[in-house]
């Protein structure tokens, strides 16, 4: 079981230089845990792509994403707990709002034991904050 940030999941749906490595890493995970709004972050990223990427390609990526998110991912959906923790996380780290919520959701998912829940992210600032909270960072 690992907590996956949007930045680490995005290469599963849009081809990037990290896509192969991320596919290998996710294949080894018995449970992908995400923040409940990760789906929206990823969909937004897919549709925000360069207009030279054909709509049919974006539609296919979005459809794959929705299928996986709905059927295979475990979601941290306790919004009240995430928001309560996010108030403190926002004071401690200089993160964007989405990253603050991602880290807060991971803290909820870890049930007070972040050292036992690997945190998968490709975002350097988020990785630094998650490491400071005690999460092992992947990749």
CATH number of the domain that residue 43 is part of: 3.40.50.1010
Q: Give the tens place of pLDDT for each residue, 104-126.
A: 999 999 999 999 999 999 999 99
Q: Give the tens place of pLDDT for each residue, 92-106.
A: 999 999 999 999 999
pLDDT, residue 53, reads 67
Return mean pLDDT, the chain: 95
Q: Give the tens place of pLDDT for each residue, 24-65.
A: 999 999 999 999 999 999 999 999 877 766 778 888 999 999
Q: Domain range holding 93?
A: 2-138
The Cα–Cα gap between 118 and 66 comes to 24
CB proximity list for 48: less than 8 A, separation 6 or greater: none
Count of domains for the chain:
1
Q: Read off the tokens for 17.
A: 């230089």
Q: What is the residue whose two structure tokens read 């707990």?
A: 81
Q: What is the residue whose two structure tokens read 């596919």?
A: 23
């Amino acid at each position: 079981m690992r907590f996956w940030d949007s930045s680490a999941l995005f290469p599963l749906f849009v081809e990037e230089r990290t896509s192969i490595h991320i596919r290998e890493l996710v294949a080894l995970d018995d449970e992908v845990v995400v923040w409940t709004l990760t789906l929206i972050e990823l969909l937004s990223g897919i549709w925000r792509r360069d207009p030279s990427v054909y709509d049919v390609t974006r539609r296919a990526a979005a459809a794959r994403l929705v299928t996986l998110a709905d059927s295979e991912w475990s979601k941290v959906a306790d919004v009240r707990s995430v928001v309560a923790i996010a108030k403190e996380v926002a004071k401690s780290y200089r993160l964007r709002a989405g990253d603050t919520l991602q880290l807060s959701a991971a803290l909820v998912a870890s049930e007070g034991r972040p050292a036992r829940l690997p945190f998968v992210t490709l975002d350097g600032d988020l990785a630094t904050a998650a490491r400071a909270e005690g999460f092992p960072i992947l990749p």
